[in-house]
Structure 1
Amino acid sequence: MSSNGFTAAESAVMANEIASLVRERCGEIGTLAVDSLPFAAVDALRAEGFAISDADVLMSRTRRVKLPLEIAYMREAMRRTVGAVRQMEDALRPGMTENEVWSRFVGALIAGHGELVSTRLLESGPNTFPYFNECGTRVIEAGDLVCLDTDAIAFESCSVDFSRTFLAGDGPARPQQRELYQRAHEQLLHNTSLIGPGVEFEAVARNAWPVPSEHRSSRYYCIGHGLGMIGEYPNLPFHVEGQPYPLDDEFVPGMVFCVESYIGSSDSGEGVKLEDQLLITDTGVEIMNDYPFEERLLSQTQRR
């Protein structure tokens, strides 16, 4: 809707058109459910005699199951994003700034006909703890952990969301870095193993990998989240003993769901971010991102 600077007047025109269409096709209806409209447009619909309710409950549950064409689009988006991450990892060297490394990812994505990246979640060394620092001018040093969360929009407005943590330089990882990485990897694989068609959200939360106490205050805020054109329903919260679980729902085929893992340490001032993007199928799950883990940080027994 373009208001041409006359928001209230144009909203009234739009609301009148909507009211005419609704009454012509549906008769007298007292309530309209609205997904997203400007305040002025909502007020205008109320002035037409409608009560307004929130359509998010209906729309979010409708969007969670992807059409076959949407899944095909998301696969193509993933292909473009994985290629860009590979080029970024190949370019990663000590002496580069975080911004330089991140630009290699974004540049490769755009050169490969991707669309945009919605965050700047690349961090290194001490910037990896706590999580959610965005990239900046810090110069990456040999032996630094480097975390990337893709958050890419790569094809037909479809999102791609997986995370990997790399080790800068050619040297070996430090023992505490390996411990953090292996715990994050264990959390990722364990929680992924709980998910499948017909599995209730609460069952996943109750049986999720128990985050050790020393990492709990800095853990990721949810077990995982749905994905489509943006992050979507559900944001799966952790189970809290003694409190009712807020989501009474289950995984169904056609959902795309991202499993999150972050393990950080206040002692070392570092953290590891891992994440996989899953497609729920009729028989289980498919990991959509074909991207390896960092071998120097992962012991032989924990490879997938």
Structure 2
Amino acid sequence: MPDKVKNPVRVVVFAYHSVGVRCLQVLHRSGLDIALIVTHPDDPTENRWFDSVAEWASHQGIPVLTPPNPNDPALVERIAALHADFFFSFYYRQMLGADLLALPKRGAYNLHGSLLPRYRGRVPVNWAVICGEMETGATLHVMTLKPDQGDIIAQEKVPIGPDDTAHDVFLRVIEAGERALSRVLPALLAGKAVHHRQDLSQGNYCGGRRPEDGRIDWSQPAQAIHNLVRGVAPPYPGAFTLVNGQPLRVLKTSLHPHPDALARTQGGDGQPLYLLQAEWRGQGLNTAQFKATFPQGCVPDPWPATKSP
């Protein structure tokens, strides 16, 4: 843990999620003057499996705002009056505009959940699992107007096991982000953090995902289907297939025989895939229930034909 600074450095933090709470704790333990936290309101309708930045800020007595738009001119003026040395962004969901990024005297830094320049953009942990990566991590980098393109000052790797879900990996990424920030913070405060320019040609950019993107294309190889199931497994919306027009949620699979498998199917490459957890009409199914529900076998509806342009 970094030593507390003698003359507190003033920071404004844009944060959300457990990532935000854990990284805020690093800054707080280091004795920084957290003048303001900007976060998102906690949505009671969201499946919020993560910690609340707003609750943490309240317990610490730190001012917190939940604006719909952080780039609102009135808010920019209010933040400017704080004369912050640094801005930090920890899983805040909105981009900061040029007027905000021009304010901190010593720079603005963002924590991203991948090994940049790989998987810039949205839901990087989910994409890494879906794409079958064997490792990912967390990167602290300079904030720029374009997402996830600024110079890197710290990176921490984490492994991805063959059956890990995105949630399993995300928990490791949270810890990796905390380690990356803790490791580089003393050098950053001393003005000695080394900045490494990204080679964007060595990376890729990923967009957001919608629940409907979890539909299984059974023409894909078994490995790709297994990766999709892992990458969107709960607490994310989950993979699914349609059977007679109704969604069967496929929550866990295996590429290897399993004594408790609900069913054995296969991918488009002919390789076997074993269904270990599934949900039909909101109810989880055991092996007997699965066979009773689908006595003739579970036959997915055909993949929709590609529409003409």
Q: Which bin holds the TM-score, normalised by the shorter protein?
A: under 0.3
Point out the structure with the larger helix share.
1
Q: Which has the higher contact order (CA 8 A, sep 6+)?
A: 1
